[in-house]
Amino acid sequence: MAEGLTRREEITNGQALADLLNIEQKTLRECLIYLAWLDQQIVELDKTYPEWGPEREEAWFAHNLQDARLRLQAGRIASARFAYEDVLLQAEESADRTPKTKAMIPQILKEMGALPDGKGVTRRSRDDE
């Protein structure tokens, strides 16, 4: 996958997850591939939604939720919890502007509450970033 980055090829979700699953065996450069995938997704959002508004906000939320789920699938529980806290905070802050995001709050609470670390639903404020 690192070779794909040098050729400016797109990184698929599966490639990003596969790389994250093997993170313990990776060098720092190889671990950055996952971050490059995240950055690539942001660039795509910028192209698709050049102006900030409800549609872009919903797309950004969907991206962040996907990231949290990928971290969980990879067994990165602490990292997944941090990402779910971000997603929950984002959903609650944008609930009035984006009905689709508001509708996802119960699902986020369910997924976060089921994380295997047994901490249940945790929240942090914007000040904790």
Question: For every one of its 129 residues, what pLDDT tens digit does the chain have, with 9 covering 90 and above?
Answer: 444 444 455 666 666 666 665 555 556 666 677 778 878 888 898 899 888 888 998 998 998 999 899 889 888 888 889 999 999 999 999 988 998 899 999 999 999 999 999 999 999 877 655
Helix and strand numbers (H, E) in the chain are 7, 0
CA 46 to chain centre: 16
